[in-house]
A and B are shown apart, each in its own frame.
Chain A
Amino acid sequence: MKFDRRTFLTLGLGAVAGGAVGINFTPVPWKLTDDVSIWTQNWPWTPVPQTGETSYKQTTCTLCPGGCGVSVRKVGKRCVKIEGTEGHPVNNGGVCLLGNSGLQYLYGPDRVRGPMKRAGRRGEGRFIEITWEEAISEVAEKLAKIRAAGKPHTVACMTGAQQDTVSALFARFLEAYGSPNLFKSPTAWDTQRLSARLMCGLDAAVGYDLDNADYILSFGSGLIDGWGSPVHHLANYGAWHDPDTKEKAYLVQAEPRLSLTAAKADAWVAVNPGAEGPLALAMVHVIIADGLYDKNFVNSYTTRFEDWTDPDGRQQAGFKRTVLENYSPDKLAKITGVAPERVRKIAREFARARKPVAICGTAQGDQAAALYHVMAVQALNALAGNINRPGGMQILEAEGPFPWPDVQKDAKAEKGLEKPRLDAPAAKPYPLADGLIHAFAGAVLAQKPYPVEALLVAGGDPAYFLPRASEAKKALSAIPLVVSFSPVFNDTAMYADYILPDDLYLESVRDVPSPPGLVPRVVGLTRAVTDPVYASRPAGDSLIAIAKAMGGTVAGSFAWKNYQAALKQAMGGKWRTLSSKGYWIDESPAPSWTQLFGGKRFSFCPTPPAGGRTGMKPQPLVVDIPGDAKSMPLLAVPVKSMQLENGQMAATPFMMKTIPDTVLDKADVLVVEVNPQTAGKLGIGNRKAARLATPFGEADVLVVHNEGVMPGLVGLPCGFGHAGYSRFVRGKGANYHALSGAVADPLTGHDVAWGVRARLTQA
């Protein structure tokens, strides 16, 4: 064969083509890429999770007050996933993002791994590990010393908002020890309870049967932003929007900002901030004027609706006349900012609905509400005749204190308890004050009425949540002995002398009170799903140990073997159900009006217990935010969302991943929402840096234009700016509470500020 040019080309091209085809058919290159991938991935530092037997254990989540039943998937001894418990009366299988990421708390870098003693400056966060014996004896010794010096009243204690057995034990400790200074953060639920006491004359919590309501008028309550029992309401929301659901609820949201709830509601009423109460009154006016109220209920079970005679024999204007004469939607339009026609339309829809209900407690309900607002909303419910009716407002009578033996008090305790509370001077102007936690820091710093020697922090995070948090931090630094029982290094724990870490809800047994507002009541129980991961101990046990170490009547008041024994006694008849099922559900039927009120009536103009004979007439109160409107023309309002914060714990690393860049910017700078109209006037473009100033502090922010914010307001996300916790949350953004101040309700004195004066300047 002649090897010419043609043969060369044929063979050459053939080889190329063959090679090209071959390379696609030979496995060698594919095998090589695969192998290279595998070889470059076998690093010893990439974790390989161990296998093991899978099991599920039930407990109740305590990360927020929601009280969800959670099911923990375990592989061997490790907890690997938290899911909602199917069939649980609160959450029926659903779970929120905080509950879902609970294991990041259990195993995470935020945990306090054992008893600690401060080694650095306060707030610095440097601690040394000590033994439990040392921790208990040192704390008990110091507390005994203060008591021996005749100053038991100078020891204060803060508990969380929830009234569980642990809070009750701390209250008991303070009583036996001899101090009146028990503080807890008041919530909107406390205001509603107070309102029920005034209007219904009953010591009762207020609940709303939203599962059965068909028209929900929400005065700023963030039904899907973490209000009450968040997962329960999210499930309700889903059910209302299911094509197969027959009974749907129509949701009207009155709020100045397009919150998630407002965005997802059937109607959004952009009411002026702080004017929810007046809006409710304007609706009351329409319902009375149109005669749309439940006449049976109003005539037979209420009082002071019509004009009435006071004990001095003077004629007093009744609720009806006061409202009709003063509070028409037209007259209040200027305050509420809502067109009278819209008010009339909604009020009529509400009154004509089959099962309407009005709810209150803004955002997550974790802040006290203005009493006049709550009373106006409860008047709406009374006019609708929905009290204790399916779908209505429920009066859930309190069960009384836990059935524990009486507290033993010696002379020292009696004497200490007679001393005025720390907040007594601050509480003086307010007839219905019952503990003003926001006055605590001021009292400590002023050393009036007396210097505070010690503080036990059994719940909450005052260094973060108290208004003017910088002042709270100064106060914490000024107290000689601060003992924290926090399971995590929260902002307050950074200021503690001793941390006696509590267990998490996955490690030991404790009760979980019924979630606020939930109908029916469901009391939960946490269970030891795993052995304690670190050297933590139930706070109840630590306290009992401290009391025992102090001896005398203090020890005598804590005669239980351990916290478990106290818990079992406190739960009484519920214990069997609780320990076997994990929750106890109140199955008793709602008492009828006659049973509920007994000879009493619902009073539209109740007489406050501390004097005043004229009755509390409805007031279109708008909580005024003080400050100079000229230098601070804007109003910064808190933006609460479940993604950032719910309850007293900071967000987890997983939650931080869900936060969009329209809330926290690349440089970890807080993003504030401003209406484009307002931003335009200030000359601040979209996504432009600015400086936010309030009378209490300043922060660098990034301004994002948002059409959903009322002009003149600045939406400030809550949940950032922690000084405690791990580097996954610490130091990101700014803390709203540090930038805001307290504004006292004229009746209760509780902080009811809905915002803070602010100024935005171009950076």
Chain B
Amino acid sequence: MIHKEEGNLPRYGMVIDLDKCTGCGACMVACQSENNVPFKENETNKLDSITWMRIFKVSNGEPFPGTEMVYLPRPCQHCEGQHPGHPPCTSVCPATATDYDHATGVVSQIYTRCFGCRYCMTACPYLVRYFNWWDPHFPADTEKYLSPDVSVRMRGVVEKCSFCFHRFQRAMDKAYYEGRKELEEMEYQTACTQACPAGAITFGDLNNPHHQVHKLKDSPRAFRLLEKLGTNPKVYYLSSKKWVRKACDNEMGKEHNKYRPKRK
């Protein structure tokens, strides 16, 4: 397949400002309630607790009272890879259950194709993928709040953040109906972006100079997680603290910045 127009197509991405993030957890729950994420009685084992968006606590490890802490929300990084469409997870999937959407840059997970080999989970360096070890159970009448926009996953499949792709589909439906082919910035926003009380998450088309994320990603505060791996993620973080940038990048000398897009 040849994608000649790759450069002009939207590349949806996220910029998360760690200076603003308060670690309140609203994004996590907004995501769970938007995407019919199952829950179980004991969620303390974080290896089998499904959280598409998860907040990590990062400390500078200095002794009291010099201790500093930041909170790092981690959705799927929607890696672009070294060539468009080559995130670490898609190339290993034997069932084509995870795919890269060239029209948006979103890495999808197609539940009905997944047969649960979990190869993608090992391939993902960000641990964003979760396996359904059990059938989902919705106690009492909680089945009533399930959204028809997102299918409920059964036991044996892998799931992860989709950048609320169903919201993109809804917005596109509306746009087509109105005779448009492009979306306005605010027409497609993820549930976490919408819920964040501090406004720490910005979402939009990284390629579109009119979108906020386009400007924010070039901020001197910007960095990406484990950039040295060359996964080329579409989730950017902002922090004014050097130790944060260093801890999240795990920088190793010259390797750092090797894969970073050139600033204008």
| A interface residues (Cβ-Cβ under 8 A, vs B) | 30, 33-34, 36-38, 40-41, 43, 45-52, 73, 75, 78-84, 91, 93-97, 100-101, 103-104, 106-109, 111, 224, 230-231, 234-235, 237-239, 241-243, 258, 260, 263-264, 268, 270, 533, 642-643, 653-662, 664-668, 675-677, 707-711, 726-728
Task: Give Cα distance in the complex from A243 to B112, angstroms.
Answer: 44
A37 x B95 contact (CB < 8 A)? yes
A96 to B33, CA, bound (A): 12
Shortest Cβ gap from B92 to chain A (Å): 14
Residues of B within 8 Å of A662, CB to CB, are: 57
Q: Chain A contacts of B20 at CB under 8 A?
A: 237-238, 241-242
**What 0/1 readout, one digit per residue, does chain B (27-52) give for beta carbons within 8 Å of chain A?**
01110111011010111111001110
- CB contact between B197 and one of A96, A108, A109, A656 (< 8 Å): that residue: A96
Q: Any chain A CB within 8 A of the CB of B85? A: no
Within 8 Å by CB of A658, from B19, B25, B33, B36, lies B25
Kindly list chain A residues whose C-beta atoms are within 8 Å of the C-beta of B124.
none
Q: How far is the CA of A36 from the CA of B146 in the complex (A)?
A: 26
Residue ID in chain B nearest A226 by CB atoms: B24
Q: Is B115 an interface residue (CB 8 A)?
A: yes
Shortest beta-carbon contacts, A-B, top 9: A238-B198, A94-B197, A234-B197, A49-B146, A263-B69, A97-B29, A658-B25, A107-B141, A270-B65
| Residue on B nearest A669 in the bound complex, by CB | B44
Inter-chain contacts of B200 with A (CB < 8 A): 238
**B250 interface residue (CB < 8 Å to A):** no
Contact of A666 among B44, B51, B146, B195 (CB under 8 A): B44
Chain B hits for A43, CB < 8 A:
135, 154
For chain B, the count of residues having a C-beta within 8 Å of the partner chain is 76
Partner of B55, one of A46, A48, A231, A658: A658
B143/A47 in contact, CB under 8 A: yes
Nearest CB in chain B to that of A655: its residue: B29
Chain A residues positioned under 8 Å from B141 (CB to CB): 107-108, 533
- Bound complex: CA A46 to CA B138 (Å): 10
Enumerate chain B interface residues (CB-CB to A < 8 A): 17, 19-20, 22-26, 28-30, 32-34, 36-37, 39, 41-46, 49-51, 55, 57, 59, 61-65, 67-71, 94-97, 111-115, 135-136, 138-148, 151-154, 156-157, 191, 194-200, 219
Of the A-B pairs whose beta carbons lie under 8 Å apart in the complex, a sample of 22, sorted by A's number, is: A40-B156, A46-B136, A49-B148, A50-B148, A94-B26, A96-B26, A101-B29, A101-B32, A107-B144, A224-B22, A234-B26, A238-B17, A258-B65, A260-B69, A263-B70, A643-B24, A653-B39, A654-B39, A656-B39, A667-B44, A668-B42, A707-B61
Q: In the bound complex, do residue B148 and residue A52 qualify as a contact, i.e. CB atoms below 8 Å apart?
A: yes
Contact: B19 with A668, CB < 8 Å? no
Report the Cα distance A219→B96, complex, angstroms.
Answer: 56
- A100 contacts B29, CB within 8 Å? yes
Chain B residues within 8 Å of A51, by CB: 148
Closest residue on chain B to residue A707 by CB atoms: B67
Contact between chains at A103 and B148 (CB < 8 Å): no
**CB of A213, distance to nearest CB on chain B (Å):** 17
From A30, A45, A96, B24 is in contact (CB under 8 Å) with: A96
Most chain A beta-carbon neighbours within 10 Å: one of B24, B138, B139, B152: B24
* A707–B59 touching, CB < 8 Å: yes
Asked if B139 and A109 sit within 8 Å, CB to CB, the answer is yes
Q: A104-B145, A242-B20 are in contact. Are A656 and B43 (CB under 8 A)?
A: yes
Q: B33, B39, B49: which contacts A82 (Cβ < 8 A)?
A: B33
